[in-house]
């Protein structure tokens, strides 16, 4: 009896433990399912409440920068008055830029008015849902609850305006009220009934019937009335006019405000540059010029602005002669970007002529002189007030934008690593920065905001040629080798016909799908395949019988060590290839005599574990930093070359 009782207890304990394990397993599975469902949720954004016949309502699908899809299913459910709405339809997808989020654009005239039938003035209240399927077969969905659209067939501007007694060329004055049009809908304008501009120089502009634009600032209740130089010119003088506001819709409809005309009297003052921030930068870098009265560079509008540089540029190299910009040899340049009449973003400009750099950014040194805004319109040129001081030109800094394309994410899914993309990208940045440590170069995964000239390296999926290349530098500047790194705005990606003609391959970038060629299982025909590839990625690649990394097993889970190693190895190979191709773009490999005449040798003559060795000399283990091999470095000759062209400050 005692033994039987003991057995019963053991059986009960075993059953309880099994049940507990089952509950734990279910809990893990439920948690995994919950996280995977969370990853498939789209964050929808929309900022429009008033809809007119020319509106294009944009719904941004947050979290889709790495998603490849063409069509979305849109469902709108709600009410207009007492009438129920339940509409489902397909809508094409667009992307904000090359690598931005996807969005759907709902045309008021083609989609919303026909489907919702709001009439001349109706209000919709309800929900909007978007469902899309990407190329990997994943369904993603998002929802906006409690949206409200007010449909208006006739939207008139109802605004107030207070013009100060002093304005500047291209300056703006705040407009408050209601009914201001969005850019895609048309243009809210101030129409001049009667008016004239009398310049201090003596000429007169007859302004009867001219229009001044009211620019969109993100709010229907606030805009900026811009004193367009195409209307009143750029010369100092006096403006007096009567104006009324109108909405000019994209379909040709015009609606006037109900208020009458109002008078404006003001004077246009002289353009000036007040300061520069920062007061030192390298070639291609952007600085900010502050002042008033800035207008865009010359165009077909009949007006424009130049910047005139006068002074002396003293090189940091004591053996180099100073360069003087004055009189007829003063340097004239267009503004890089006029942000407003108060701000210019200006690059430290340079140009390449043959094998020589020219311009303010040609060599490190100090510029001591003036920068003068020079404006013109149909009545001639007018000189603004100058900035005077010193500006330091720093040694060249190479900025590199690693542009991860949506196809990079698709490729990661092949390796089973899509759920650790952020960690892989972070490690790639670590690798390239380590490879170029001590060199004046910076890698980022977003377009630099403070440089006008920077290199771009596309990191995508398949090799477009089908040759399974790991990467290719398709830049070309009259000659294939840019010794001295004269061109700091290279683009390694897309198609370059010149490179295609010279090397029978126009495509550039990094092609991460090609790294599967290292697998002896997938590509047994490849002589450079390595069993270590299958060891590292076999647990995750479906092609090798593996199971993809799940969202729930990183950074905690049973396979965390294997996942961490896969992240490290994959990023090492991509980073190593990126360092190699970017080295080509900057003139590597370097050989004696290249300064005088760039040669046609692009790799080190022998393989010694260096980054610029030929691909056939660089094994998977070396690139991946496995089994005691790597990391690869630059040869002494290549390292000395990089330190010469990109010295730290």
3-state class of 108 per DSSP?
helix
Hey, what CATH topology would domain 43-152 get? Immunoglobulin-like (2.60.40)
Output the pLDDT for position 259.
85
Question: H-type helices in 361-480, by residue range?
Answer: 406-415, 421-435
Output the pLDDT for position 278.
97
Average pLDDT (409-426) is 96
Output the pLDDT for position 23.
47
A 10 A CB-CB count for 34 gives 12
* 3-state SS record for 356-378: EEECCCCCCEEEEEEEEEEEEEC
Taking each helix axis from N to C end, the angle separating 421-435 and 560-585, rounded to the nearest 10 degrees, works out to 50
A 10 A CB-CB count for 400 gives 24
Output the pLDDT for position 63.
87
Answer whether residue 551 shows pLDDT above 90. no
Distance separating alpha carbons of residues 648 and 90, to the nearest angstrom: 54
Assess contact for 242 and 262: CB atoms under 8 A. Answer: yes
Output the pLDDT for position 457.
98
Output the pLDDT for position 30.
60
3-state class of 145 per DSSP?
strand
Q: What is the pLDDT of residues 512-547, one digit of tens each?
A: 999 999 999 999 998 889 999 999 999 999 999 999
Residue showing tokens 């099994």: 18
Please report the DSSP string for 284-316 in residue order: TBEEEEEEE---PSS-TTS-EEEEEEEEEEEES
Single out the residue of 181, 190, 180, 159 nearest to residue 259, CA to CA: 159
Output the pLDDT for position 379.
93
Output the pLDDT for position 527.
83
Output the pLDDT for position 497.
87
Output the pLDDT for position 213.
94
- Rounded to 5°, the CA angle 101-103-108 comes to 160
Single out the residue of 143, 125, 124, 126 nearest to residue 72, CA to CA: 143
- Residue 20 contacts by C-beta under 8 Å, 6 or more apart in sequence? none
Neighbouring C-alpha atoms within 13 Å toward the C-beta of 604 = 22
Distance separating alpha carbons of residues 317 and 390, to the nearest angstrom: 17
Answer whether residue 10 shows pLDDT above 90. no
* Alpha-carbon distance values, 561 to 58, 281, 292 (Å): 43, 44, 59
- Residue 437 contacts by C-beta under 8 Å, 6 or more apart in sequence? none
- Rounded to 5°, the CA angle 132-137-138 comes to 60
Assess contact for 586 and 612: CB atoms under 8 A. Answer: no
A 10 A CB-CB count for 497 gives 10
82 Cα distance to chain centroid? 45
Distance separating alpha carbons of residues 606 and 120, to the nearest angstrom: 77
627 Cα distance to chain centroid? 38
Q: What is the pTM of this model?
A: 0.83
Tell me: cis bond preceding 124? Omega within 30 of 0 counts: no
For the purposes of burial, counting CB atoms within 10 Å of the CB of 214, is it exposed (0-12), middle (13-18) or buried (19 or more)?
buried
Distance separating alpha carbons of residues 310 and 331, to the nearest angstrom: 7
Decide whether 158-269 matches 273-394 in CATH topology.
yes
Average pLDDT (390-416) is 96
* 3-state SS record for 41-52: ECEEECCCCEEC
Output the pLDDT for position 7.
45
Please report the DSSP string for 17-59 in residue order: HHHHHHHHHHHHHHHHHHHHHHHTB-EEE----EE-TT-EEEE
3-state class of 99 per DSSP?
coil
Output the pLDDT for position 38.
53
Average pLDDT (544-557) is 93
Backbone angles phi, psi at 29, to 5 degrees: -65, -40
Kindly indicate whether the domain formed by 273-394 is annotated with CATH number 3.40.720. Answer: no
Distance separating alpha carbons of residues 646 and 356, to the nearest angstrom: 16
Q: What is the pLDDT of residues 177-220, one digit of tens each?
A: 999 999 999 999 999 999 999 999 999 999 999 999 999 999 99
Kindly indicate whether the domain formed by 158-269 is annotated with CATH number 1.20.1050. Answer: no
Answer whether residue 19 shows pLDDT above 50. no
Output the pLDDT for position 410.
92
Single out the residue of 120, 110, 92, 96 nearest to residue 56, CA to CA: 110
- Rounded to 5°, the CA angle 202-343-268 comes to 20
Average pLDDT (447-463) is 96
210 Cα distance to chain centroid? 37
Assess contact for 456 and 604: CB atoms under 8 A. Answer: no
Residue showing tokens 């490999």: 589
Distance separating alpha carbons of residues 361 and 357, to the nearest angstrom: 8
Domain coordinates of the chain in residue numbers? Answer: 43-152, 158-269, 273-394, 398-645
Average pLDDT of the chain is 91
A 10 A CB-CB count for 498 gives 14
Single out the residue of 175, 244, 251, 163 nearest to residue 210, CA to CA: 244
Tell me what percent of the residues of the chain surpass a pLDDT of 90.
81
Pairwise pLDDT comparison (627 vs 8), residue with the higher score: 627
Answer whether residue 18 shows pLDDT above 80. no
Distance separating alpha carbons of residues 438 and 457, to the nearest angstrom: 21
**Tokens encoding 69:** 């899809």
Output the pLDDT for position 31.
54
């Amino acid at each position: 009896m005692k033994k039987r009782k003991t057995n019963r207890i053991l059986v009960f304990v075993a059953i309880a433990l099994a049940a507990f394990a089952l509950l734990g397993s279910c809990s893990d599975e439920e948690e995994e399912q919950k996280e995977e469902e969370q990853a498939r949720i789209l964050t929808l954004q929309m900022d429009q409440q008033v809809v007119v016949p020319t509106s294009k309502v944009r719904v941004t699908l947050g979290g889709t920068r790495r998603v490849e899809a063409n069509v979305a299913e849109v469902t709108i459910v709600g009410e207009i008055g007492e009438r129920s709405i339940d509409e489902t339809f397909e809508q094409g997808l667009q992307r904000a830029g090359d690598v931005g989020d996807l969005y759907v654009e709902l045309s008021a005239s083609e989609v919303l008015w026909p489907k919702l039938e709001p009439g001349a003035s109706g209000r919709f209240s309800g929900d909007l849902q978007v469902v899309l399927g990407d190329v990997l077969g994943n369904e993603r969905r998002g929802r906006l609850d409690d949206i409200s659209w007010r449909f208006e067939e006739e939207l008139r501007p109802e605004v107030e305006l207070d013009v100060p007694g002093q304005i500047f060329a291209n300056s703006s004055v705040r407009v408050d009220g209601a009914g201001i049009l969005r850019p895609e809908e048309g243009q809210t304008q101030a129409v001049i009934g009667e008016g004239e501009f009398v310049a201090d120089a003596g000429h007169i502009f007859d302004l009867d019937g001219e229009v001044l634009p009211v620019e969109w600032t993100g709010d229907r209740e606030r805009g900026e009335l811009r004193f367009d130089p195409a209307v009143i010119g750029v010369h100092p003088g006096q403006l007096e006019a009567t104006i009324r506001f109108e909405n000019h819709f994209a379909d040709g409809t015009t609606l006037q405000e109900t208020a009458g005309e109002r008078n404006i009297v003001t004077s246009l003052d002289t353009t000036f540059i007040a300061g520069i921030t920062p007061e030192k930068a390298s070639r291609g870098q952007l600085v900010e010029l502050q002042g008033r009265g800035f207008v865009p560079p010359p165009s077909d509008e009949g007006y424009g602005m130049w910047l005139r540089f006068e002074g002396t540029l003293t090189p940091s190299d004591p053996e180099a002669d100073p360069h003087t910009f004055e009189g007829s040899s003063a340097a004239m340049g267009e503004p890089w970007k006029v942000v407003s009449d108060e701000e210019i973003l200006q690059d430290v400009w340079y140009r390449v002529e043959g094998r020589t750099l020219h311009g303010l950014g040609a060599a490190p040194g100090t510029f001591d002189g003036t920068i003068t805004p020079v404006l013109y319109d149909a009545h001639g040129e007018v000189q603004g007030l100058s900035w005077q001081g010193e500006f330091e030109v720093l040694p060249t800094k190479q900025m590199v934008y690693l542009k991860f394309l949506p196809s990079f994410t698709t490729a990661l899914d092949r390796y089973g690593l899509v759920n650790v993309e952020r960690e892989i990208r972070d490690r790639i940045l670590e690798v390239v920065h380590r490879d170029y440590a001590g060199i004046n170069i910076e890698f980022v995964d977003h377009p630099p905001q403070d440089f006008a000239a920077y290199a771009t390296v596309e990191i995508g999926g398949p090799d477009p040629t089908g040759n399974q290349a790991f990467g290719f530098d398709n830049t070309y500047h009259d000659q294939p080798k840019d010794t001295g790194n004269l061109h700091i705005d290279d683009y390694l990606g897309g198609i370059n016909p010149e490179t295609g003609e010279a090397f029978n391959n126009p495509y550039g970038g990094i092609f991460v799908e090609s790294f599967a060629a290292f697998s002896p299982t997938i590509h047994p025909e490849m002589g450079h395949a390595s069993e270590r590839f299958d060891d590292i990625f076999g647990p995750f690649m479906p092609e090798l019988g593996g199971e993809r990394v799940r969202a729930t097993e990183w950074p905690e889970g049973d396979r965390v060590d294997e996942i961490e190693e896969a992240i490290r190895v994959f990023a090492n190979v991509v980073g190593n290839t990126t360092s190699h191709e970017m080295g080509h773009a900057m003139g590597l490999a370097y050989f004696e005599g290249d300064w005088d005449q760039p040669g046609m040798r692009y790799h080190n003559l022998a393989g010694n574990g260096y980054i610029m060795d030929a691909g056939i000399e660089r094994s998977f283990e070396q690139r991946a930093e496995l089994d005691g091999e790597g990391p690869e470095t630059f040869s002494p000759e290549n390292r000395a070359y990089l330190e010469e062209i990109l010295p730290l400050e």
